Structures are given as structure tokens and as C-alpha cells.
């Protein structure tokens, strides 16, 4: 009769997961608990991300469901019963068609993240993953971007800017239309526009001049190209006119940016990448090499 009756403790799975994450973050000197993640990608990128983060949560916290995953799904993804949707906790249907309507649509991604109470956004690769407007817009809304800061992305995600930065750091470069250009970064962490523009080729005459200086064969490349888009090998001068317009059109359609440059096409090579991760605290990890030629 004298026993005190207290309110039942919150034993829900969500509360338990949040508490586990909070303890982990506090123990490691962190400042922010990330409980709900939006995967702004699809296919293998989204699948690998969810599996990897669930495995991390299980290994570190003992709870594979500590992080909740929301994915974006187009009608095409839903019709195909895409695997990444099944791995997620929930999905938001987004417009189909070109990635400009969905996974590359910064405004759409940010709106979904804000509306759904997302703590962090993981963009994967391709799509909006190298668009500095995404981390900038998320930061304004207090949402964490899992990836580089906007200034770093602006420089390293753009091939012209990255080449100028490499030359500034005295990294040997192959001949290209921006040979010798160096720059002091702006306060925003970008390459000054006047120096960036000197490396571009904007007319056929500029293409011919650069190609003649570099020597054929050359590559005509979109500064924001990737995934095999926005790149053509030019073997002789008479191909330049057609390929210049082809690459410009393709780059604008795929990336919304038609900035082009020319570099030497190197034959009989092997392409090997050294891959590194570095965070804002100065922690660096070398995560091995990737034999791109074999891949």
C-alpha cells in the first residue's frame, strides 16, 4: 500500500537507439547526434551506403537500427522494386525522368530533408554529390551534409579548378589549356574567376590554338563532366568543330554547365588512383588504391 508508483519509462526502440547514439557521440567528443539520414541517391550507391552504415551501427553500438534511413524513389525505382528501397526504413516518391528532376535536384533534396526532420544527408556519388549548392543550402537549414564542405567541393569537384589547384601546389600536370596557371584561393575557397576563365576554351579558335600547342591527339573535356559524359578524344583538327558542339551540348544537358577545357590525350597508360579520406579536424586515412584501368 505504501509502494510508490512511477510513470513507465520510455522503452521504445526509437528512444533506446537515440540514447545509444547520444552516449556514443558524447564518449567520442562529438557535438551532434545523427539519428535520421536521407540518402539522396539510388541504386548501388544507396544500397551500399545503408548496408555499410547499419553494419557500423551494429559493430559500434550493438544496434543495426540505431540510424534511420529515408530514401528518394522515382516511379521507375518503385516499378523495378529496387533493392535500396527495401533496405531503407521509408521512402519519399520523387519525379521520374532525368536526374535534374530528382537525385540532382538540390531544391528538392533540401525540401525533403527539412520537411521530414532529417539530421543529415548523404549524396553518394554522381547526381548532386559534387554540387556545392547542396551543402550550402543544407547548412543554412541546420542540416548536416555528409561529405566535403562547399569550398572544398567547388575546387576539387571541378576539373579546371582542381588542375589549377594542383599546379599551385607544384604537382606535375600533363599539358592542357590552363598550363602554368596558379591561384590564391578567394575567401570563399574558390579559384578566382579571371584565372579560371583563362583555362577554359569557349570558341573553336581557342580550341584550335590550344590543341596545336599541346599536340594531337587531345581530349576535349567538360569541367564538371563525369561518368563518361562530357569527354571526347580529338585525333585531328577537322574533328574539333563537331566535337566541340557535341561535348558542350552533352555537358549542359547532363550537368547544367558547358565549361570546357583541352588536355593532352595520353596513350599506353595505366590509371591508378590513391584514395584518401580527410575530415575537418585534420584526421587523414589512406584507404588504398584503385586500379581504374582494370576496373
Question: Cα separation of 121 and 110, whole Å?
Answer: 9
What pLDDT is recorded for position 73?
97
Q: Report the 10 Å Cβ neighbour count for 31.
A: 6
Res 83: pLDDT: 96
What's the pLDDT at 12?
64
The pTM of this model reads 0.75
- In this prediction, residue 210 carries a pLDDT of 95
Whole-number pLDDT of residue 141 = 96
For 281, phi then psi, to 5°, come to -95, 0
Whole-number pLDDT of residue 279: 85
pLDDT at 4: 38
Q: What is the secondary structure of 173-191 as a DSSP string? A: ---BTTTT---PPPTTS--
Whose cell is 505504501? That residue is: 2
Residue range 112-147, pLDDT digits in tens: 999 999 999 999 988 899 888 999 999 999 999 999
In the structure, how many helices (H) and strands (E) does the chain have?
11, 10
| Cβ neighbourhood burial of 225 (10 Å; 0-12, 13-18, 19+) | buried
Residues of the chain with pLDDT under 50: 1-11
242-268 pLDDT tens trace? 999 999 888 888 777 788 999 999 988
Q: Which three cell numbers stand for residue 148?
A: 566535403
Alpha-carbon torsion (152, 158, 164, 166), positive or negative = positive
212, three cell numbers: 596545336
Amino acid at each position: 500500500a505504501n509502494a510508490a508508483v512511477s510513470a513507465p519509462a520510455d522503452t521504445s526502440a526509437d528512444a533506446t537507439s537515440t540514447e545509444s547514439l547520444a552516449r556514443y557521440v558524447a564518449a567520442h567528443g562529438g557535438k551532434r547526434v545523427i539519428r535520421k539520414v536521407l540518402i539522396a541517391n539510388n541504386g548501388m550507391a544507396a544500397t551500399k551506403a545503408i548496408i555499410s552504415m547499419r553494419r557500423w551501427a551494429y559493430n559500434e553500438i550493438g544496434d543495426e537500427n540505431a540510424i534511420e534511413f529515408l530514401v528518394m524513389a522515382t516511379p521507375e525505382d518503385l516499378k523495378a522494386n529496387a533493392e535500396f528501397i527495401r533496405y531503407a526504413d521509408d521512402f519519399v516518391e520523387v519525379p521520374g525522368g532525368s536526374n535534374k528532376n530528382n537525385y540532382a535536384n538540390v531544391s528538392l533534396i533540401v525540401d525533403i530533408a527539412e520537411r521530414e526532420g532529417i539530421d543529415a544527408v548523404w549524396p553518394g556519388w554522381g547526381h548532386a554529390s559534387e554540387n556545392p549548392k547542396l551543402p550550402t543550402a543544407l547548412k543554412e537549414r541546420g542540416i548536416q551534409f555528409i561529405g566535403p564542405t562547399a569550398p572544398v567541393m567547388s575546387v576539387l569537384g571541378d576539373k579546371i579548378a582542381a588542375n589549377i589547384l594542383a599546379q599551385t601546389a607544384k604537382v606535375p600536370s600533363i599539358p592542357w589549356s590552363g598550363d602554368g596557371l596558379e591561384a590564391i584561393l578567394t575567401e570563399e575557397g574558390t579559384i578566382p574567376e579571371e584565372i579560371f576563365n583563362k583555362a577554359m576554351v569557349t570558341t573553336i579558335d581557342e580550341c584550335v590554338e590550344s590543341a596545336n600547342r599541346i599536340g594531337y591527339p587531345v581530349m576535349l573535356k567538360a569541367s564538371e563532366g563525369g561518368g563518361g559524359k562530357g569527354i571526347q578524344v580529338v585525333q585531328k583538327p577537322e574533328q574539333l568543330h563537331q566535337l566541340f558542339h557535341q561535348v558542350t551540348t552533352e555537358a549542359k544537358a547532363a550537368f547544367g554547365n558547358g565549361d570546357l577545357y583541352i588536355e593532352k590525350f595520353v596513350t599506353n597508360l595505366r590509371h591508378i588512383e590513391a584514395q584518401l579520406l580527410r575530415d575537418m579536424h585534420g584526421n587523414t586515412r589512406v584507404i588504398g588504391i584503385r586500379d581504374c584501368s582494370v576496373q
